[in-house]
Amino acid sequence: MKWLHLILIGMFCSIACTKKQVEPLPIGEEEVLEEQDTTEAALLYEVIGHPISLGQYFQFLDSVINKYDTLLNYKMDEHILIQTNDWVIDRLQNTDYYRSTAQGEFVYDNRLLPILNFGDTLFIPDSLMTLQLCDDRDQTVIDVNIPEYKLRIKERGIVKHSMQVRVGRNERKYLALAGREVDLRTATGVGYIYRIERDPIFINPSNGKRYYTTKRDDGQRTRMPQIPWLEPILDDIRYGHLIHPTSNPKTLGKAYSNGCIGLGEADSWLLYYHAPVGTKVVFRYDVEVLDEKQDTVRLRNIYRRKTSKR
């Protein structure tokens, strides 16, 4: 029934990330798995010929996507490729500085850490897999409840992942980057992921100066990590409130930032591969929530604003 469902989707739905008509793909013998007599379409695969560090990772992915863009008659992107090979997300999450220190390893520059090893295999999704992943994407919402300090990844209304975050402070402050005094409270609204920055530049918004290193919670100083940042648009407004990792997880669960949503490094990688450009986002301010027992709990009103039930 699952495959019948996928076939019906392919027949009757027009998915935004499919750029060409989906047809069976002719595959050369050297590019298929040994098992060719199955009822499923054979998978293409890419064997890693040399180690790929985090600093080389995105450039390598782009080369793979470009290669198969000329071979496939359907659209595959980075997020579809890695969701098909979700073991890569686990490796990226394990570059988290605090996971490394828990294992007794000090990492100054996460760009030097290996992500793909010689002999690893990336499987290329067929048209049906791609179609299903596109459909899942269309049904995904990034939900942030500000006074709860929670970000949830929801798919078809079901919470798939929940993450603790930090939010903007309840104050106004002059920011050199904005050139004026701004409200640091995280804005609410409904929108979508507008932009992704895979190798961000770090600028102190208070004085406009760029910085290259960060002081960790354990007192050690490291290079700023390479982890993607996400920029949402809320109600057609770019507030400049990004979703990005913090190098100081002690600040999670607090109103601490200049308006951005901060989360742990490992969680940032998980979110990145569930939130490509165009993914729906909801930033809300609900002080009444349900706990695990489905009892209503009233949260602290951190911004001292009037609230409404949803």
Q: Does the pLDDT at position 183 exceed 70?
A: yes
Between residues 175 and 77, which one has the greater pLDDT?
77
What pLDDT, on the 0 to 100 scale, is given for residue 33? 36
Could you tell me what percent of the chain has a pLDDT over 90?
77
Angle formed at CA 87 by CA 83 and CA 268, multiple of 5 degrees: 70
Phi–psi pair at 200, nearest 5 degrees: -70, 155
307 in any annotated domain: no
Which residues have a Cβ under 8 Å from the Cβ of 174 and sit 6 or more positions away? 180, 181, 182, 206
58 in any annotated domain: yes
131 in any annotated domain: yes
Domain termination residue (choose one: 85, 109, 135): 135
Query: How does residue 21 score in pLDDT terms, banded at 50, 70 and 90?
Result: very low
What pLDDT, on the 0 to 100 scale, is given for residue 294? 86
pLDDT tens sequence across 274-299 = 999 999 999 999 999 988 888 899 99
Same-domain status, 199 and 55: no
Handedness of CA 92, 94, 99, 102 (dihedral sign): negative
270 in any annotated domain: yes
Same-domain status, 193 and 74: no
Q: Does the pLDDT at position 186 exceed 70?
A: yes
The dihedral over CA atoms of 57, 200, 303, 285, expressed in degrees to the nearest 10, equals -40
The rounded mean pLDDT for the chain is 87
Same-domain status, 28 and 65: yes
For residue 258, what are its two tokens?
Answer: 């200049």
Give the whole-angstrom CA distance, residue 148 versus residue 156: 22
263 in any annotated domain: yes
What pLDDT, on the 0 to 100 scale, is given for residue 305? 62
Q: What is the mean pLDDT of residues 207-235?
A: 96
Query: How does residue 29 score in pLDDT terms, banded at 50, 70 and 90?
Result: very low
Domain termination residue (choose one: 135, 157, 176): 135
Domain termination residue (choose one: 135, 168, 192): 135
Same-domain status, 189 and 222: yes
309 in any annotated domain: no
Give the whole-angstrom CA distance, residue 293 versus residue 16: 39
Between residues 134 and 34, which one has the greater pLDDT?
134
Same-domain status, 21 and 39: yes
Same-domain status, 125 and 179: no
pTM: 0.84
61 in any annotated domain: yes
Q: Does the pLDDT at position 217 exceed 70?
A: yes
Task: Identify which of 50, 60, 120, 128 has the alpha carbon closest to the alpha carbon of residue 90.
Answer: 120
pLDDT tens sequence across 116-163 = 999 999 999 999 999 999 999 999 999 999 999 999 999 999 999 999
What pLDDT, on the 0 to 100 scale, is given for residue 306? 52
Same-domain status, 146 and 259: yes
Give the whole-angstrom CA distance, residue 205 versus residue 207: 6
Contact 288, 297 (CB under 8 A): yes
Same-domain status, 168 and 78: no
What pLDDT, on the 0 to 100 scale, is given for residue 304? 80
Contact 260, 242 (CB under 8 A): yes
Q: Does the pLDDT at position 10 exceed 70?
A: no
> Tokens 């992943």 appear where?
133
Same-domain status, 220 and 163: yes
237 in any annotated domain: yes
What pLDDT, on the 0 to 100 scale, is given for residue 175? 87
DSSP string, 73-97: SS---HHHHHHHTTHHHHHHHTT-H
Most distant pair of Cα atoms in the chain: their distance? 66
Q: Does the pLDDT at position 27 exceed 80?
A: no
Range of the domain at 224: 141-298
Same-domain status, 129 and 151: no
Which residues have a Cβ under 8 Å from the Cβ of 239 and sit 6 or more positions away? 187, 259
Total count of domains within the chain = 2
Q: Does the pLDDT at position 38 exceed 90?
A: no
Same-domain status, 131 and 246: no
Question: Domain of 192: which CATH number?
Answer: 2.40.440.10
Query: Interhelix angle for 127-138 vs 2-12, to 10°?
Result: 80
Same-domain status, 19 and 150: no
